[in-house]
Amino acid sequence: MKRLLLCTAAMIGMAAQSAAAQTPAPTELGARTPVAQEAAPLEPPVLRNFPKREERPIPAPPPAPVYQAIELRRYPAAEAGQGAAASGDDFYAVVNTRIGRYAKADGRKLAEWQGDRTQFVHLNACLVLEDDLVCAHSNFPHVPMTSSVEFFDPRTLEHRRSVALGEQIGSLTWVDRRDGAWWAAFANYDGRGGEPGRDHSYSQLVRFDDQWRRTQSWTFPASVLERLAPTSTSGGGFGDDGLIYMTGHDAPELYVLRLPDAGSMLVHVATFRVPIPGQGWAWDRTEPRVLYGINNETREVIATYVPNLPAEVLKAD
């Protein structure tokens, strides 16, 4: 038995030596590798059927509660066609290429500006930030969509400067400043003013740094998109509670949203019934919880008080 094992081991050793002798070293293999030879053509592809199916829907959260805002006063203003803003003793009415500054006390016009129609196409929502009147601007309803942010002197309405954003994911409708960043809403539309392949559901809120570089973005929840259709958001901004307040194009509704804890879709917190039928508006930072919007059919600027949300809603948020 011992002799048999020794013989077997010897034979295995001889076989291994023979294989090693026949196997060239890596460098030798590389030198001996032949040029690739053409092979037979590939067989026709097998057509596989992946039928479209109804995907499992994303679970919907409970409906957001609805509250009532309070109308404070109205002012006639010829420029009240796109949006309004306010600060201190003044309010502003905005339409496409014109801005009017008025006195809150009696509604007198104090200043006006009219832009070059070859450069200014569609001013939308504006707001007063420190020493600037800042306005969202786009070429709506023309395509491809282009946008810019325009800065004015809030007293004389002299145009100060422009930030050209060019083509983005939509048409700029409102802008705000918070936490050292710029926040801008880009609208998309199902029909007029829309681009092929994108409907209103492609509207987004985008955060930019001080050099206007895109840093983050969020989409709108289904419960808000269904209220915006077939248009999009026209006005918005952060409230003093840190939440995002936003209107659509036509409905007298103010949607309250917050940034999500995870993912890229904003969370619908609440809705207010408001006396402004959508369009652009802005918080008056000198009157707590008061916003100024418009009725573009009656050409009026409307001041509205938005009550604080109940503690349980803020806590849930």
The predicted structure's pLDDT at residue 223: 97
- Asked if 127 and 113 touch (Cβ cutoff 8 Å), the reply is no
How confident is the model over 76-100, as pLDDT tens digits? Answer: 999 999 999 999 999 999 999 999 9
Which strand ranges, in their side-by-side order, compose the sheet holding 83-87? 83-87, 90-95, 98-103, 109-114
Q: Which amino acid is at 300?
A: E
Distance in angstroms (rounded) separating the CA atoms of residues 233 and 246: 7
The predicted structure's pLDDT at residue 91: 98
Where do the structural domains in the chain lie, given as residue ranges? Answer: 66-316
Instruction: Tell me which residues of the chain have a pLDDT lower than 50.
Output: 1-2, 4-9, 12, 15-16, 19-21, 23
The predicted structure's pLDDT at residue 13: 53
Q: How far is CA 294 from the centre of its chain?
A: 23
Domain 66-316 top-level CATH class: mainly beta
The secondary structure of 281-305 as a DSSP string is: -EE-TTSTTEEEEEETTTTEEEEEE
The C-alpha R_g of the chain, in whole angstroms, comes to: 32
The predicted structure's pLDDT at residue 35: 86
